[in-house]
């Protein structure tokens, strides 16, 4: 079933929309959550919670890209769960990748309007990058892939991946400064 049909089922409050979402996106959602969380149970719980949140949000919201919208909900749920699970300890590769981004995108303390504007600026920045740098960046910071996984996807060595990421973060920091996001 295509996304437009699923959206229509959600608008009509037809519970079969959840089953269709699961059929189409369960694997992707579990992948996103699983790259952030170490336990399958936690990942499944985040995915199910994301389906419930989606059910509550549509309507009134009407995202133009259901897949991205759902993945963002899953990712946020997984990050929240990770923070809960690791309140005083480290140990997740995803935490490391988030730490990498803090040098150019610090936590804004839940400022949703600013976060939405910042997301748009980052999207614009990524569209200006060459395809390989963009894909490496997205694999690391959206999907939470390890350096080894990314190296495997693109036939690179891990040091090259790390260099790509460093250079892209540096460019992003400069781009954000130009756009008025100078976090000093």
Could you list the beta-strand ranges (E) of 23-147. none
Q: What is the pTM of this model?
A: 0.57
Q: If you search the block for the tokens 């920091």, which residue do you land on? A: 173
Q: Distance of CA 45 to CAs 41, 42, 52, 91, Å?
A: 6, 5, 11, 20
Instruction: State the Cα–Cα distance between residues 7 and 59, nearest whole angstrom.
Output: 9
pLDDT by position in tens, the chain (length 184) = 999 999 999 999 999 999 999 999 999 999 999 988 878 899 999 999 999 999 999 988 889 999 999 999 999 999 888 877 766 444 455 555 566 777 677 555 444 446 677 778 888 999 999 999 999 998 888 877 889 999 999 999 999 999 999 999 999 989 988 888 765 4
């Amino acid at each position: 079933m295509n996304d437009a049909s699923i959206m229509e089922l959600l608008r009509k409050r037809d519970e079969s929309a959840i089953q269709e979402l699961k059929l189409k996106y369960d694997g992707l959602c579990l992948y996103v959550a699983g790259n952030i969380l170490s336990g399958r149970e936690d990942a499944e719980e985040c995915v199910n919670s994301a389906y419930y949140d989606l059910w509550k949000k549509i309507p009134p919201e009407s995202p133009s890209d259901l897949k991205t919208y759902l993945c963002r909900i899953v990712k946020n749920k997984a990050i929240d769960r990770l923070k809960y699970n690791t309140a005083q300890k480290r140990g997740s590769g995803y935490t490391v990748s988030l730490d990498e981004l803090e040098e150019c995108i610090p936590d804004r303390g839940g400022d949703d309007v600013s976060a939405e504007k910042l997301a748009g600026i980052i999207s614009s920045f990524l569209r200006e990058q060459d395809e390989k740098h963009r894909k490496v960046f997205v694999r690391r910071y959206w999907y939470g892939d390890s350096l080894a996984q990314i190296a495997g996807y693109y036939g690179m060595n891990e040091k090259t991946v790390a260099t790509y990421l460093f250079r892209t973060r540096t460019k992003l920091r400069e781009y954000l400064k130009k756009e008025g996001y100078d976090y000093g």
